[in-house]
Amino acid sequence: MATLTIRDLDDDLKAALRVRAAEHGISMEAEVKAILRDVLSGTREDVGVGTRIRRRFDGVDVGDLDLPARTDAPGAANLP
């Protein structure tokens, strides 16, 4: 196994990496490995924004949302 040292890493970038690793419940080192593996393996899935939004909110319980009635007919935007 090789060792990689990154000098002069921006503090904001390091903080973002720390947060991302914590969100995934892994170390910063494991997060960097995962990022590099995903980017360099070429197996990264290219999906549209709609699919990414659906995946992000998949499983969210919306049963308690108070949805407005859909009685108005669709119309053009009212721009000033």
- Any domain includes 20: yes
- Any domain includes 15: yes
C-alpha 77/C-alpha 54 separation (Å) is: 26
Q: What is the pLDDT of residue 9?
A: 93
- Any domain includes 13: yes
C-alpha 51/C-alpha 2 separation (Å) is: 36
- Any domain includes 17: yes
Q: How many domains does the chain have?
A: 1
- Any domain includes 48: no
Dihedral class, residue 66 (left if φ above 0, else alpha if ψ from -120 to 50, else beta): beta
Q: What is the pLDDT of residue 65?
A: 78
- Any domain includes 68: no
Q: Show pLDDT as tens, one digit a residue, over the chain (80 residues).
A: 889 999 999 999 999 999 999 999 999 999 999 999 888 886 656 778 898 888 888 888 877 777 778 887 888 888 88
- Any domain includes 53: no
> Which domain does 34 fall in, by range?
9-41
- Any domain includes 14: yes
